[in-house]
Amino acid sequence: MQPAPDLNLHLILGGARSGKSRHAEALALQAEAAGDRIVYIATAWAGDEEMRSRIAEHRRRRPASWLSIELPDADFALAATLRAQVHRNCCVLVDCLTLWLAQHLCPPPGVPARDVQAEVDALLEVLPGLSGRVILVSNEIGLGVMPMGADTRRTVDALGRLHQQLAERARRVTLMVAGLPLTLKPSPESR
């Protein structure tokens, strides 16, 4: 599937501490300098002290001029937020799909289980109708050894399938390694 003519989707993948978020934030700063309004959609739910600390660090890095939205614990929250926020002269940065998907596959205590495939389908369905710039950040977690445990393997598999579907729709796909962006799409020969 080719992206819709007006869909400017950039998928940024990489391992832990590869520079994904910093690269995405630098792209958003460039978009802001060019006149775009920036909307930052944070997907993490603070389930423990370490995650609260990570979330606080991300909050500190964001410019005050950006609209920050922390996704609520609600059905189809990501798709609905994208539909409401993405428009021309707007750049929306979603950080990160790994946490979003994992939280739906293995919800924290007190959070109801959701139909993960329905959530993914809603995300994929909303993308072609968006008319602004969208930057999606996600961890590439399937590059190592086969994980132990069925829940972990299910997460790796689901995230890998989601990445393939998003990469197919995206105009740009970047893999971050050691803080360096490697362009996967468009390929050098297609430019």
Q: How far is the C-alpha of 117 from the C-alpha of 55, rounded, in Å?
A: 26
- Give catalytic residue positions: 58
Q: How far apart are CA 41 and CA 140, in angstroms?
A: 19
Could you write out the DSSP letters of every residue in 130-148? --SEEEEEEE--TTSSPPS
Please give the Cα distance from 112 to 16 (Å, whole number): 27
Single-letter residue type at 28: A
